[in-house]
Amino acid sequence: MTTLPTPRDSRKDWLAVLLLCALLMLPNLLWLWYYHSLPVWIEGFVFPVVLLLVFFALFGDVPWLGCLLLTPFALLAPMEAYFVSRYQHPTSAEVIATLMATNPNEAREYLGTSLIPLAVILLSSTMLSLGCAWRCFRVRLRWRNSFRTWTLVIAVATPLAAAGVAAITDREASQKPTHGTLNLGPMLSGTIALGYPFGVVERIATYHSEWISMRADAAKLDAYRFGAHLVTLKPQRQVYVLVIGESSRRDHWQLFGYSRPTNPELSHMTNLVPITHMVTSWPESIDAIPLIITRKPITNRSIAFGQASILRAMQEAGYETFWISNQLAIGYFDSPIAVYAYEAQHVEWLNHSSWNAPGSYDGNLLQPLHNALSNTQGNLFIVLHMMGSHLQYDFRYPDKFKQFKPTWSDSISQVPNGVRLQNSYDNTILYTDHVLAAIIDTLRKSDAISALWYESDHGEMLITPTCDQGGHGIGTKYEYEIPALFWYSDAYATNFPDRLSTLRSNAEKRTLSTSTFPSLTDMAGVDFPGHDETLSLFSPSWRYRPRIVNSSMWSVDFDKATIGKKCPIVLPQ
């Protein structure tokens, strides 16, 4: 008969279990290093510790099995810790989607010189967990004291008590006795999701659900065809780039009359045509971007649209297509856009961070653009999707572009909040200017017939002394007035002088982002049945249409609307 170890003999075995738990807690401790708020302490320390206690209490008779089940999390713990140290927050379902879509070459570039040391650490972490499981199994380690019993009792009693309190305090408890219990699950799930290791389960489940849904929606467009073809064949390679900006308002661009030097590079660039009076019909990306890349009607409030995007038309005409994004692949606002992204033959997601963290700058788009130009031979159509000027503004640009000071992050400053916020926002425009200039320089050096179309999805409202609303989705004039521009190579001007002349004659007219799709096809010499030239800025047939803009409450003609006095909300007459 095998003799169980004495309590004294068990201390070394339990120390191995504690070392495993310490490894699993490392990502949480790094998160706490950067943020010290009470919610972070609860999500990053209290809940993970309690859940680890409950986990081992459940496996008290077979702790070796608990260690074995935690081995995948031990393997991933150094990766999670590496991510937190780099981006100062835990991973998420959206980040997991980006990482899963990353190919091995991109992963090597992302990890760089950290790849080999990290591989050694991952192996060591795995061996620690497996060694701990083996040690517990070999000595038949057990947890059978009263502390384990009380841990299990409290673990069961706490959610039941919380559910009971919620049910009692609910005004409609008599009609819906389970109402409080049903609300408890999402509340606990949200609290657990950011902690390690158990939050990873929820993140992976969310990623899987949203990813499958997004790809299913993308598959619905597979059969759609425009019947597009290239009008004029040229022996020289043609490369066209659509850059979709984010949250950029036109009146903060030097190029469009702003008093600050937010466009020092573009303002001195030749072959540039500003589109001076463009507005978007929607103040949010989920509705605004489809108007740029599809023929979706202006007032269509449905997220789904049954037609494919400009990527399909370009591909039918013989262009090899790319979608290179510094945004996220899944999420409520991201998945509907990713549906169109996957029409491209090559898709690359670069953002390994999130909206609420620094570190993923739009300059990251440059190398994939260079790779696309270098690794292919034929005609190309490339979409580059920026993070642009999306909140938080100070996360959107590197330190060297912190030219307008003090910024929002300079909290010790005595300068009013509105001024600091504006400085941060203007720095994002300054950085966008630099990235666009670098993209244009890359195209100029490509020796191709090339052109670039830039357009922001929507603008942004900044807080003012009379209006405390900021961001987008509000419906102010600054969210509809967007910057747009066209750059062309010398070879483009030589080969297509009529197109260029027509665009210049239309560039200062009042137009909508819904003109972008037909303009891009004409820019690239692509035609198809049903193509409406009266919407194209490259066509002599272009004609003005009422510029209808939408909000959550109404649709209104922008050129006939009333603008609110305190908050510049676009209102019906």
Structural domain spans, the chain: 7-207, 237-571
Torsions phi, psi of 420, nearest 5? -65, -40
Domain at 237-571: CATH code: 3.40.720.10
The residue ranking higher by pLDDT, 88 or 363, is: 363
Among 74-78, 111-115, 134-138, 315-319, name the one with the lowest average pLDDT.
Answer: 111-115
DSSP three-state, residue 275: strand
CB 251 within 8 A of CB 393: no
Per-residue pLDDT, 451: 98
| Residue 452, H or E segment | strand 449-456
pLDDT over 70 (residue 177): no
Percent of the chain with pLDDT over 90: 57
**Is pLDDT of 544 > 50?**
yes
pLDDT(324) > 90: yes
pLDDT for 1 equals 36
- Lowest mean pLDDT, pick from 125-139, 171-185, 287-301, 355-369: 171-185
- Residue environment code for 143-182, b if the CB has 16+ CB neighbours within 10 A, otherwise e: beeeebeebeeebeeeeeebbeebbeebeeeeeeeeebbe
Contact 284, 290 (CB under 8 A): no
Mean pLDDT of 27-36: 89
Interval 337-357 mean pLDDT: 87
CA–CA separation, 418 and 122 (whole Å): 46
Is there a cis peptide before residue 414, judged by omega within 30 degrees of 0? no
| Rounded mean pLDDT, 194-214 | 86
Phi, psi of 458 (to 5 degrees): -160, 175
Render pLDDT for 181-203 as a digit per residue (tens, 0 to 9).
444 445 455 567 788 999 988 88
Mean pLDDT of the chain: 87
Tokens of 274: 């500003």
User: What local confidence, expressed as pLDDT, does residue 110 receive?
Assistant: 57
pLDDT tens digits for range 308-318: 999 999 999 99
Q: What pTM was estimated for this model as a whole?
A: 0.83
With cut-offs at 50, 70 and 90, classify the pLDDT of residue 7: very low
Distance of CA 510 to the CA centre of its chain: 31
Tokens of 259: 């008093």
